[in-house]
Amino acid sequence: MSENIKINVNGNQIESTPNKLLIEACEDSGIHIPRFCWHKRLDPVGMCRMCLVEIETPRGKMLVPSCTTEVTDEMVVDTESEVVKKAQEGVLEFLLINHPLDCPICDKAGECPLQDQTMAYGPGESRFVEEKRHFEKPISISEIILLDRERCILCARCTRFSDEISGDPLIEFIQRGNKTEVNTFPNEPFKSYFSGNTVQICPVGALTSTSYRFKARPWDLKSVRSTCNGCPVGCSTELNSSQNKMLRILGVDNDSVNQGWLCDKGRYNFEYLNSEFRLKNPLKKIDNELKETSVKEIYTELSELISDRNTNINFLIGTNSTNEDYVAFNEFAKNFPTTNQTFYLNDDYLYAGFFEQDINRATIDDLNNSEAIVIWAEDLKENLPVLYLRVRQAVKNGVKLIVFGHSNSTLEDIADFYYSEDIVSENFEIIKDISKLKGIKEHVKDKNVTAIIGKSTPYQLDEYLDKLVSYLVENSNSKIMNAFSSGNTFGAINNLDNVKNLRDFTKNVSSENTDLLFIVGSDPIGRSVFSNEIHRIIEDIDNVVCLDLFLHETSELCNYIIPTSSTLGEKEGTFTNIEFRTSRIDKLVPSPGQSLSDWEFISGLSNFCNFINNIDSLDGLNELAYQDFDNQDSPSFKNLDKPSNFDGIINDYQPNVSTMPNETITSQYFVGKKLYGDNITIRYSDSISLLGAKQFIEASESTIEKLNLSSGECTLKQNGHQVSANYVVNNKLADGVIFIPQNRRNFNRFDFSETIEISPNQSKEALNVN
């Protein structure tokens, strides 16, 4: 590290690291320089000229934009001189020439940098009497984003974000001079998984989202910092509500995790909280019909059932609960010594191999600090979107990227070495000698490597992955991160003593060995590839208790249904992410009706059964979860609530996961997940519900020809089950490979390990006969 340099700002000495931008150095020392276009995470452009400051040069004092000027030793800067003030007033007067004064109906008003800085630095009045320029207002540039071009001040934050950060530049400046506008290409909407970030960083109200538009005023919002539980990346979020309704989620800049960004699913998948279809009262099945009942009645019936402690109990646990909930279940299960106290996690991608080998765990920051990144997992952009952004950032910084997988992954465009068909077989096995591959020889062997390893499809055999992991462990200085893609998976495997996966559930659990089954916050029938088997098993079991937000394909089959609070904004707790970083989940809005947190329900049941109840408070559960840690670095509430720990604390738990190796079942299809699916929460989030509703399959042109498809639609058929779907031409897929997304409505009923008949749809004329 080179030494700090000293600069003089407004007569005060401040220190800075060399090569820092002047605006950033001042910001770090508490001197605010107004700005519109400059953003900490984007490359500087000097578009808006708002950050002009005076510096002393050999030719006298000079106005320079502080966002494109690097600090130098002994630099003398004035940010408040008369000249600077005049420049700021001039810039603002120009910016306001074409900016409509529609603040009273603008969503940004109240938190608008243009409004605030006009107040603070503006001239106070305008000399512009001519007509302002007009555009149609607003136009929708995607299903979830609206653009008001009149309000745009051309700072290029959104266009730079989409180019530099997310890599899908679908919006750009069109025209020139005073005609310049931001727009998309005709019929090519801003279809990005990260488009919501542009709304957040827009310094005016030009970009708005359908979900928040006209819903509230910033000064009415209550807000709380939390962690997104949508996927194991665990982005830091700020939740906003007004009148007890969740209205908006913003990304918080957590340097080691999401750096301020969120994916659109994490940002907009919250409207279900206010859905009228939320369960409000406990339900009980009487004569095959669900009737409303009270929690007390359910407690009474259940306690009778389990009072002798010899009941065979099984748990099917979802990944949407907090760590404290998992601890509560774990403690509760200890009351039944005769059962094997196994928790089946609702994740068909989970496998144990990763935890059995002696590996060094990677953090997300390691991606930037290594010489190469090796990825063999689900498509990152679809499943761990913000991790994809971090990989992209590392690649931009010169880290080599080596990817294994079918040639369908979004990583293909940024990878230095992409090993597909020739090296990775249809069943996802590396069929060549790993050590002889060019990318591995040159960039992995004996180098510092960060690897992201996970199953590409539920049907991938464990041993294939183990082989790559052991190669990396033996031949390089590797750190490995496991890519499971659902929710608080890492919290579950940390806090539950014995975790198995869904495949094990279908093998081990039956009505013979289960008197009572708890299903917690999961819909395995609706979204897993073992849907049919699980359906059969659950139907057979006499007593099934379900804790969930909604009625869905799984909960409908249960005898008792308890409405629960959502982990998003309705309860407190902790969340553990992909790098075993634990951070706070906080509560902002009340949950509807008689909803309970998972732990509240289990604690109440313990009381009814007269068990020793050590799980009757959230703080108690939190202490239980982290009792093995040193007081100093345990992620307990006490520590996490210190401002220095808001970004979370990484812990070094050794989880106990033992899944059965998948040795037999394979699929001739490429089964995977897309970001938006037909999950119950997306279904009830109005602004994004349609994004996951389309039923489709993907294949290359020649494959489609072989299937004799022509009309754009096809029919999938298997054992009397039939779904009509679109097909999407994706020439990146190898010949003969058919991609089927598993998270689509009615696709779950297919058994992907068997053949599915794919035939052309009946033509429209034939359908119109009647």
Partner 1 sequence: MSWNDSMIKQAKKIIKMYPQKRSAIGPLLHLAQSKDGYISDDSIAVISELVGITEVQVKSVSTFYSMYKQEPTGKYLLSVCKSISCEINNSKEIIDVVKDFTGLNNNETDENDLFTFEAVECIGACGGAPAMQINYETVEGLSSENTIKLCEWLKEEQPDVIIAEEMQDNFGGTKSFDWAIKDQSGTTGSVPGFQTFNTTKEKK
Site for partner 1, rule CB under 8 A = 168-176, 183-186, 188
Place of tokens 């997304």: 741
| CB contact at 8 A, 199 and 152 | no
Query: Closest separation between CB of residue 396 and partner 1, Å?
Result: 16
Q: Which is nearer to partner 1, 174 or 286 (CB)?
A: 174
Q: Which residues pair with 248 in a beta bridge?
A: 240
Which CA distances in Å does 679 have to 272, 632, 692? 11, 39, 8
Query: Closest separation between CB of residue 728 and partner 1, Å?
Result: 18
Q: Which is nearer to partner 1, 188 or 539 (CB)?
A: 188
* 366 contacts: CB under 8 Å, gap ≥ 6: 450, 479, 481
Would you tell me the crossing angle of helices 295-306 and 598-608 to the nearest 10 degrees? 60
- Nearest alpha carbon to residue 106 among 203, 174, 12, 185: 203
Q: Which is nearer to partner 1, 167 or 563 (CB)?
A: 167
Query: Closest separation between CB of residue 183 and partner 1, Å?
Result: 7
Q: Which is nearer to partner 1, 51 or 170 (CB)?
A: 170
Q: Which is nearer to partner 1, 171 or 394 (CB)?
A: 171
What per-residue string of b and e applies to 174-213 under the rule 16 or more CB within 10 Å gives b? eeeeeeebbbbeeeebbebbbbbbbbbbbbbbbbbbbbbe
Residue 483 burial by Cβ neighbours in a 10 Å radius (0-12, 13-18, 19+)? buried
Q: Which is nearer to partner 1, 722 or 731 (CB)?
A: 731
Q: Which is nearer to partner 1, 184 or 314 (CB)?
A: 184
Query: Closest separation between CB of residue 764 and partner 1, Å?
Result: 28
Place of tokens 């998976």: 489
**Pairs from 235-241 (Cβ < 8 Å, separation ≥ 24):** 235/261, 235/262, 235/263, 235/266, 235/386, 236/583, 236/646, 236/647, 236/648, 237/262, 237/266, 239/568, 239/569, 239/586, 239/588, 240/216, 240/588, 241/569, 241/588, 241/589
Q: How many other CB atoms sit within 10 Å of the CB of residue 307?
A: 13
What per-residue string of b and e applies to 675-700 under the rule 16 or more CB within 10 Å gives b? bbbbbbbbbbbebbbebbeebbbbbb
Q: Which is nearer to partner 1, 116 or 168 (CB)?
A: 168
- What six digits make up the tokens of 179? 């005609």
Which CA distances in Å does 98 have to 81, 102, 130, 153? 27, 12, 10, 8
Query: Closest separation between CB of residue 167 and partner 1, Å?
Result: 10
Q: Which is nearer to partner 1, 381 or 479 (CB)?
A: 381
- Nearest alpha carbon to residue 87 among 47, 112, 125, 53: 53
Q: Which is nearer to partner 1, 113 or 169 (CB)?
A: 169
Query: Closest separation between CB of residue 213 and partner 1, Å?
Result: 24
Query: Closest separation between CB of residue 164 and partner 1, Å?
Result: 13
Query: Closest separation between CB of residue 512 and partner 1, Å?
Result: 58
| CB contact at 8 A, 479 and 450 | yes
Query: Closest separation between CB of residue 142 and partner 1, Å?
Result: 13
Query: Closest separation between CB of residue 134 and partner 1, Å?
Result: 18
* Biggest CA-to-CA distance, the chain: 91
According to DSSP, the β-strands at 499-500 and 417-419 are: unpaired
* 368 contacts: CB under 8 Å, gap ≥ 6: 390, 393, 394, 397, 399
Q: Which is nearer to partner 1, 174 or 690 (CB)?
A: 174
- What six digits make up the tokens of 121? 């630095």
Which CA distances in Å does 435 have to 205, 419, 445, 451, 615? 53, 13, 8, 16, 51
Q: Which is nearer to partner 1, 190 or 344 (CB)?
A: 190
- Nearest alpha carbon to residue 246 among 237, 257, 236: 237
Q: Which is nearer to partner 1, 128 or 173 (CB)?
A: 173
The Cα 393–Cα 390 span in angstroms is 5
Query: Closest separation between CB of residue 159 and partner 1, Å?
Result: 9
Which CA distances in Å does 135 have to 100, 147, 149, 179, 205? 11, 10, 6, 10, 14
Q: Which is nearer to partner 1, 59 or 179 (CB)?
A: 179
Query: Closest separation between CB of residue 715 and partner 1, Å?
Result: 31
What is the DSSP annotation of 588-634? -SPPSTT-B-HHHHHHHHHHHTT-----SSHHHHHHHHTTTS-TTT-
According to DSSP, the β-strands at 5-9 and 12-16 are: antiparallel
Query: Closest separation between CB of residue 174 and partner 1, Å?
Result: 5
Query: Closest separation between CB of residue 172 and partner 1, Å?
Result: 4
Q: Which is nearer to partner 1, 176 or 764 (CB)?
A: 176
Which CA distances in Å does 289 have to 106, 190, 284, 299? 48, 45, 8, 19
Q: Which is nearer to partner 1, 178 or 288 (CB)?
A: 178
Query: Closest separation between CB of residue 23 and partner 1, Å?
Result: 27
Place of tokens 């590839």: 529
* 12 contacts: CB under 8 Å, gap ≥ 6: none
The Cα 481–Cα 217 span in angstroms is 41
Q: Which is nearer to partner 1, 128 or 185 (CB)?
A: 185
